[in-house]
């Protein structure tokens, strides 16, 4: 098999959560460009419809499914709809997430539970459902968890995101634990840890510390629209057939300093 063939995903079925905008939509584009039939899910129907039209405008076969992953009882219905449309899920990208800023001593219970529910609990429940109903029976699957460099370290001065950092550290270890448990089924589980990318979620933080972030980054810039696509293509394709339980920081070198 040629190197180009290793990266081809023709006809595979991918589900990307949080796929209506930002990094999720960029990753859906990447999978679609490599040949996937892409299903994107998110909470807001209007944003999903726009994203679906955007993907189809690029020649990508796309389907949008509205689902609020914080409502755990709706996760089986999301999987029902994907399996009804395509029969299986080959690639799952757990991207949907949330953050909340507040000093630890004043952190609201509601905020803690929101971040943990969307960043840790929902990905587990969704992955369990897809594993049980599609990947394990077929003895095949690629799961890519979108963690963060925030899960690899503490917080910068002036940034109070303890729940987010904790949840992303949990996602990294979830990746490693599940990879060891499901490896014998032929299921690969890896994680991508983005650094700072401009997005709706990071806007407030970058307004406060963006210049310092760039100054501390060896490549002297923030992440761009194309910067996650190559890593996702690697983890989602046959190019990574002997790789599981790993995480890759896409951060311009920040965690190397």
Name the residues annotated as catalytic: 164
DSSP string, the chain: --HHHHH--TT-EEEEETTTSHHHHHHHHHHHHTT-EEEEEES-HHHHHHHHHHHHHTT--EEEEE--TTSGGGHHHHHHHHHHHHS--SEEEE---------GGG--HHHHHHHHIIIIIHHHHHHHHHIIIIIHHHT-EEEEEE--GGGTS---TT---HHHHHHHHHHHHHHHHHHHHHGGGTEEEEEEEE----STTTHHHHHHHHHHHHHHSTT-S---TTTTHHHHHHHHSGGGTT--S-EEEESTTGGG-
Quickly count: other Cβ atoms within 10 Å of residue 160's Cβ. Answer: 19
Encoding tokens for residue 69? 């992953």
Residues contacting 98, CB < 8 A, separation 6+ = 114, 115, 118, 119, 164, 201
**Phi and psi, residue 204, nearest 5°:** -65, -45
């Amino acid at each position: 098999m040629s190197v180009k063939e290793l990266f081809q995903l023709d006809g595979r079925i991918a589900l990307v959560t949080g796929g209506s905008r930002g990094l999720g939509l960029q990753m859906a584009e990447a999978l679609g460009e490599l040949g996937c039939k892409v299903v994107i899910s998110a909470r807001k129907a209007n944003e999903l419809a726009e994203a679906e039209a955007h993907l189809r405008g690029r020649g990508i076969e796309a389907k949008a499914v509205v689902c609020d992953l914080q409502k755990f009882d709706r996760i089986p219905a999301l999987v029902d709809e994907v399996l009804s449309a395509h029969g299986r899920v080959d690639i799952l990208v757990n991207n949907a997430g949330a953050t909340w800023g507040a000093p630890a001593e004043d952190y609201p219970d509601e905020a803690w539970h929101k971040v943990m529910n969307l960043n840790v609990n929902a990905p587990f429940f969704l992955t369990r459902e897809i594993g049980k109903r599609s990947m394990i029976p077929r003895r095949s699957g690629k799961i890519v968890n979108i963690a963060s460099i925030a899960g690899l370290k503490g917080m910068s001065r002036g940034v109070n995101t303890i729940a987010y950092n904790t949840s992303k550290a949990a996602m990294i270890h979830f990746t490693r634990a599940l990879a060891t448990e499901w490896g014998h089924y032929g299921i690969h589980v890896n994680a991508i840890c983005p650094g700072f990318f401009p997005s709706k979620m990071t806007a407030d933080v970058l307004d406060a510390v963006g210049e310092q972030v760039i100054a501390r980054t060896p490549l002297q810039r923030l992440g761009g629209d194309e910067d996650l696509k190559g890593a996702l293509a690697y983890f989602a394709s046959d190019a990574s057939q002997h790789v599981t339980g790993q995480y890759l920081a896409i951060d311009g070198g920040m965690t190397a300093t």
